[in-house]
Amino acid sequence: MNTENVDILIIGAGPSGSVAAGYLQKQGSKIKVVEKQKFPRIVVGESLIPRVMDHFDEAGLFEALDSYGFEKKPGARFIRGKEICIFDFSNKFGEGWDWTWQIPRADFDKAMTDELQRKGVDIAFETEVTNVEFNGTNSVTTIKDKNGTVSQINAKFVIDCSGYGRVLPRILKLESPSKLDPHSAIFTHVKDVNRPDGVEGTQISFDIIETEVWLWVIPFSNGNTSVGIVGPTEYIDKLSVTGNTEEAIKNAIKLSDFYVKRFDKLSFEFDPIHLKNYSVAVSQFYGEGYALTGNSTEFLDPVFSSGVCFATESGILAAKLALKQINGEDVNWEKEYTEYMKYGIDVFTTYVKEWYTGNLQELFYHQPENPDVKRKICAVLAGYVWNKENTFVAKHHNIIKNMAYMIRENKMDS
pLDDT value of residue 414:
62
Tens digits of per-residue pLDDT, 208-261? Answer: 999 999 999 999 999 999 999 999 999 999 999 999 999 999 999 999 999 999
pLDDT value of residue 302:
81
Same domain as 289, residue 151: yes
Give the DSSP per-residue string, 142-185: EEE-TT--EEEEEEEEEEE--GGG-HHHHHTT-EE--SSPPEEE
The pLDDT of 292-318, averaged and rounded, is 89
pLDDT grade for 332, boundaries at 50, 70 and 90: very high
pLDDT grade for 353, boundaries at 50, 70 and 90: very high
83 within a domain of the structure (yes/no): no
Q: What are phi and psi of 35, to 5 degrees?
A: -125, 125
> Do 230 and 183 meet the contact criterion of CB atoms below 8 Å apart?
yes
Burial of 77 (0-12, 13-18, 19+ CB in 10 A): middle
Range of the domain at 135: 3-72+96-176+280-343
Tens digits of per-residue pLDDT, 38-61? Answer: 999 999 999 999 999 999 999 999
pLDDT grade for 20, boundaries at 50, 70 and 90: very high
pLDDT value of residue 179:
77
CATH number of the domain bearing residue 265: 3.30.9.100
Question: Which of 305, 288, 294, 363 is CA-nearest to residue 134?
Answer: 288
CATH number of the domain bearing residue 8: 3.50.50.60
Q: How much is the mean pLDDT over the chain?
A: 95
pLDDT value of residue 406:
93
85 within a domain of the structure (yes/no): no
> Do 399 and 392 meet the contact criterion of CB atoms below 8 Å apart?
yes
Same domain as 314, residue 191: no
Residue 297 has pLDDT above 80, yes or no: no
The pLDDT of 285-307, averaged and rounded, is 87
Say which DSSP state 131 is in: E
Tens digits of per-residue pLDDT, 119-147? Answer: 999 999 999 999 999 999 999 999 999 99
Between 166 and 227, where is the model more confident? 227
Same domain as 206, residue 338: no
Domain closes at, from 253, 275, 297: 275
The pLDDT of 375-400, averaged and rounded, is 98
Q: How far is CA 155 from CA 35, 274, 284, 351, in A?
A: 16, 36, 21, 38
Q: How many domains does the chain have?
A: 3
Exposure string of 30-56, with b = 16+ CB inside 10 Å and e = fewer, is ebbbbbbbebeebbbbbbbbbbbbbbb
